[in-house]
Every structure is written in structure tokens, then in C-alpha cells.
DNA sequence: TTCGTTGGTTACTTTTAAGTGCCTACTATT
DNA sequence: AATAGTAGGCACTTAAAAGTAACCAACGAA
């Protein structure tokens, strides 16, 4: 995927929240509160460790989630939503409302990607 | 990209509006009104015919854009936003506002994808 | 008569992201 | 003493999306 011309800051935001699991992770964090890595992974069934780590790092760099590492001996790392993450969630909620309505209207029933 | 578990209707919507050029196309259509294929392609510099066609078809199947083909001899096909497209735009606008603010705050300055 | 325009389609190639499995280091448990 | 759990890192493989390019059909213009 070549880079889209960077005129639109939306692109950066969409690249941030897009990707198979990102919304899921944010949703779990906002519904169930801060979680440790393992619990988060268990709450998002099917995700690989690799992608989970990558997504969390990405969201952390953007200031959407925080990461708190306890230096205990089995290391305990907890993730949660920052204020920015909460702010994002409110918009995602309204986007979700549209998504829900469109699904009820059948907008997605045959609107998959071209090459699946 | 394996399919994300389909529990979340957001996934379908995000898969619809995601992809390098989709938002651009919607933005051009909403800013400059209905456009013919060629004009649209010229307004989104760098996009390939293939991807432009695929995106328009996808958006059309979801009822976000309409397509009107005049059976003239050089065929003239015009695309525009449906009411559903306009509805989507309002949410994208607020998402865009967040994106703009975050950019000003520097949220994206080092928050690229992992493997770029 | 051949070229260019319009709106694509199709095939081939490349790029990129995601999946999978194996590794750590230390400790508590069995 | 061997094993499982914790939070990943690293390398290798695979699958999907995007890019590239060639082609089409019909007609008007040069």
C-alpha cells in the first residue's frame, strides 16, 4: 500500500484505528476498563501476540492508551484508555450507531471488498 | 488479512471507508459535487483506474454513492453522494475535527504503523 | 485512416501486513 | 525437578491488497 498523499490528517487517524483488531481492543478497554496484556488478549479471541503488541504500541505512541509496567517478577503490564482514547470513543460510538443502522438496512449484506 | 470476527458492525463500515483513497473520493464528492469518472480521477491525483473503479463500485454497493451512466458514445458516467453518503460525511467531519486537533497536538508525529 | 477520448476490464507483479512458531527469564506451583 | 505463566521479540511464511500495464469498443476529428 503506497502512502496516500498526506494532505488529509484523517488518513493518519484512520490508519491508526484501522486494521483488523484495533477497534476491538479499544472497545474492550472502554467496556471493561484497564486490562493486563493476557486478559486483553483473551478478550480479543483470535488475535496473535504479535499484532496485539503492535497495536498497543501504536495506540500508545498516539497517546490513545497508556501502558503501566509493574516491575514484578512475572512482569505485569496494564493497558487503559487515556483521555484521548475516551474522546475517540465518543466519535466511534456515533460511527457505530450509523454502522448499526446501516446493517439493519442491509447496506453491508453484499458490500464486501472486491477481492475476497 | 484474515477476516476479523464479524461481531462488530463497525468492522464492515470501517472496511468500507478505509483503504488508501476512499475518504479522499468521498471528500471530493462532498466538496465539489457530483463528478464524472475522469474528473474524479484527476481530482484524486495518483490513484489508479483500477482502485478508483473498485472503490466506486464498493461505495455504490453500500449505497453511499450513486452512479448514473449516460449511454452517449463516449460513455459519460457520473458519480455523486447519496443521502447515506451525506450522513456518513457528517460523522467523518467530526472525526476529521479530532484528527485535526490531534495533529496540532502532535499525536501523529511519531505514531506511524509499525513496519513502514 | 489513424488517433484520441471515455470508462472501464483483465492479467501480471510487487508490496505490505498479518499469521505462526520458537525463544527468553524468573518464579510459583505441583 | 519439571512445568506453566507473563509479556513479549525475532524470523519465516502466507495471504491480500495495491500498482502497472495492456486492451476494448465506438465514434468524431485531423
CA-nearest of B39, B41, B60 to B49 is B41
pLDDT of B85 over the 70 cut: yes
Tell whether B2 is covered by a domain: no
Residue pair A89/B10 in contact by the 8 Å Cβ criterion: no
pLDDT of B114 over the 90 cut: no
CA-nearest of A23, A65, A17 to B113 is A17
Q: What is the pLDDT of residue B98?
A: 92
Say whether B18 sits in a helix, a strand or coil.
coil
Tell whether A1 is covered by a domain: no
CA-nearest of B61, B64, B58 to B80 is B64
Q: Which range of residues forms the domain containing residue A76?
A: 9-102
Q: Which residues of A81-112 are buried (b: 16+ CB within 10 A; e: fewer)?
A: beebbeebbebbeebbebbeebeeeebbeebe
Output the domain CATH number for residue A94. Answer: 1.10.10.10
Q: Report CB contact under 8 Å: A58, B87.
A: no
Tell whether B112 is covered by a domain: no
Give me the mean pLDDT over the A75-80 stretch: 94
Tell whether A2 is covered by a domain: no
Q: What is the pLDDT of residue A4?
A: 45
Tell whether B114 is covered by a domain: no
* ipTM exceeds 0.85, yes or no: no
**Nearest protein residue to the C1' atom of D18, measured from CA:** A1
Q: Which residues pair with A51 in a beta bridge?
A: none
Distances (CA, A) of B80 to A32, B53, B59, B69: 41, 14, 10, 12
Q: Which of A42-56, A70-84, B8-22, B41-55 has the lowest mean pLDDT?
A: B8-22
For the record, the C-alpha cell of A20 comes out as 483488523
pLDDT of A40 over the 60 cut: yes
Residue pair A57/A37 in contact by the 8 Å Cβ criterion: no
Tell whether A91 is covered by a domain: yes
Give me the mean pLDDT over the A65-80 stretch: 91
CB-to-strand D contacts below 7 angstroms? A 1-2, 36-38, 49-50, 53, 56-57, 67, 69, 74-77, 113, 115-116; B 1-2, 19-20, 46-51, 54, 73-74
Q: What is the pLDDT of residue B113?
A: 39
Tell whether A34 is covered by a domain: yes
Over residues B6-55, the pLDDT tens digits come to 456 787 888 888 888 998 999 999 999 999 999 999 999 999 999 999 99
Split into its structural domains, chain B has a count of 1
Per-residue pLDDT band at B110 (split at 50, 70, 90): low
Per-residue pLDDT band at B3 (split at 50, 70, 90): very low
Tell whether A72 is covered by a domain: yes
CA-nearest of B11, B115, B3, B103 to A55 is B115
Distance CA A72, CA A42 (A): 21
Q: 49-68 in A: which are within 8 Å (CB) of B?
A: 54, 57-58, 61-63
Amino acid at each position: 500500500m503506497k502512502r496516500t498523499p498526506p494532505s488529509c490528517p484523517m488518513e493518519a487517524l484512520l490508519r491508526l484505528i484501522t486494521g483488523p483488531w484495533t477497534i476491538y481492543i479499544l472497545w474492550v478497554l472502554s467496556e471493561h476498563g484497564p486490562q493486563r496484556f493476557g486478559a486483553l488478549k483473551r478478550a480479543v479471541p483470535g488475535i496473535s501476540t504479535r499484532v496485539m503488541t503492535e497495536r498497543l504500541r501504536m495506540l500508545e505512541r498516539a497517546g490513545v492508551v497508556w501502558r503501566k509496567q509493574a516491575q514484578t517478577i512475572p512482569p505485569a503490564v496494564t493497558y487503559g484508555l487515556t483521555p484521548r482514547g475516551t474522546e475517540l470513543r465518543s466519535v466511534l460510538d456515533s460511527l457505530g450507531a450509523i454502522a448499526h443502522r446501516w446493517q439493519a438496512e442491509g447496506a453491508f449484506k453484499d458490500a464486501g471488498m472486491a477481492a475476497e
